[in-house]
């Protein structure tokens, strides 16, 4: 008799505890701005707060009434999602799953439904609290971010291409500024810069810098008789001979008009004379419209202590003029 009475009191106490817990959960849900549902252990909805209206158009007016509906029905879950909810209800664990809900604006919204068990003070599983978090704004921001990253990558690629073109154009401009467009040899200003820099550098005691000044003989006659295009072809042919007659460490330039200049590092004056002879000999093999081509060469040396290129050029020019006066097709040292 006493056992029956105790059992009734225990059942009443348990029911009172559950009612109190359910009321507590309902009050907490009511204060939340997040759509929240309270369900029993079988997944039947017992309470839904006012925020649920945001994804339940049928509850847009009047009291929220989802009582008796299952969570699957209230949340509009598909079969696979329903299985997940049932598994969480069965084992009494926290879990979440992505869902799509209708919003207060046209179209569906992406959301995350989080299910959390609620226990009594005695540790008994009593209810489940489900909160629906709208992540559409986050997904939209993520999509917008991906588009922006793609746009920036596209712009970066085009900027990289533009930079490459500018860099290539700059490099070409530098090359063009240092090279003679007609012959491909170094231009006057670049030659002077290179020779002056070489004069400033320390050199072995037995090495000197030789400057060869080369002038095409009777070039004005070629231009006057055959025209400037023919004269250009002669200049290119002479430039090819000069370039093939020196080492890669030497520098040849078109110094102006039909005049060329060569910087050669030599150990003895005889080496400079040999280079001059190779050039003169090679030019003699050029035949233009039945006419032989020749050059006159004057050369001089930059002393180790010299720093003024113009002084060296004056001496080499003086030797060149002597070669001209000697009948052309001559080589003269200063």
Q: Which residues are catalytic?
A: 258
Give the strand pairing for 251-256 and 259-266: antiparallel
Q: CA angle at residue 233 from 231 to 237, to 5 degrees?
A: 115
Q: Which residue has the tokens 């060296």?
A: 312
Could you tell me which of 220, 234, 230, 206 has the C-alpha nearest to residue 301? 206
Contact present, 226 and 289 (Cβ < 8 Å): yes
CA 188 to CA 317: how far, in whole Å?
15
Residue 29 CB neighbour total at 10 angstroms: 22
Residue pointed to by tokens 């907490």? 28
Nearest to 40 by CA among 163, 135, 129, 147: 129
Is 25 within 8 Å of 129 (Cβ atoms)?
A: yes
| Distance in angstroms (rounded) separating the CA atoms of residues 30 and 196 | 89
Long-range contacts for 13-22 (Cβ within 8 Å, ≥24 apart)?
17/120, 17/121, 17/122, 18/120, 18/126, 21/118, 21/120, 21/126, 21/127, 22/46, 22/47, 22/126, 22/127
Whether 66 and 75 have beta carbons less than 8 Å apart is answered as no
């Amino acid at each position: 008799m006493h056992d029956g009475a105790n059992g009734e009191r225990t059942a009443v106490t348990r029911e009172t505890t559950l009612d109190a817990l359910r009321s507590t959960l309902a009050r907490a849900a009511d204060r939340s701005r997040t759509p929240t549902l309270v369900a029993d252990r079988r997944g039947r909805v017992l309470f839904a707060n006012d925020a649920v209206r945001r994804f339940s158009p049928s509850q847009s007016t009047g009291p929220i009434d989802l009582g008796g509906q299952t969570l699957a029905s209230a949340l509009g879950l598909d079969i696979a999602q329903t299985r997940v909810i049932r598994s969480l209800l069965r084992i009494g664990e926290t879990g979440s799953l992505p869902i799509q809900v209708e919003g207060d604006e046209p179209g569906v919204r992406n959301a995350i439904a989080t299910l959390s068990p609620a226990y009594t003070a005695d540790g008994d599983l009593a209810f489940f609290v489900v909160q629906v978090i709208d992540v559409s704004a986050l997904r939209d921001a993520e999509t917008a971010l991906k588009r922006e990253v793609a746009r920036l990558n596209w712009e970066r690629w085009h900027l990289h291409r533009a930079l490459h073109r500018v860099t290539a154009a700059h490099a070409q401009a530098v090359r063009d500024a240092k090279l003679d467009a007609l012959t491909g040899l170094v231009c006057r200003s670049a030659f002077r810069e290179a020779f002056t820099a070489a004069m400033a550098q320390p050199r072995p005691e037995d090495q000197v810098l030789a400057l060869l000044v080369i002038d095409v003989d009777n070039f004005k006659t070629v231009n006057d008789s055959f025209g400037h295009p023919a004269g250009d072809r002669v200049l290119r042919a002479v430039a090819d001979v000069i370039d093939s007659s020196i080492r890669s460490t030497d520098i040849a330039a078109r110094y102006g008009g039909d005049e060329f200049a060569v910087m050669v590092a030599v150990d003895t004056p005889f080496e400079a004379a040999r280079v001059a002879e190779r050039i003169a000999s090679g030019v003699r093999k050029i035949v233009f419209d039945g006419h032989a081509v020749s050059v006159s060469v004057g050369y001089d040396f930059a002393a180790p202590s010299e720093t003024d290129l113009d002084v060296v050029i004056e001496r080499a020019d003086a030797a060149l003029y002597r070669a001209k006066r000697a009948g052309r097709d001559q080589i003269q040292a200063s």
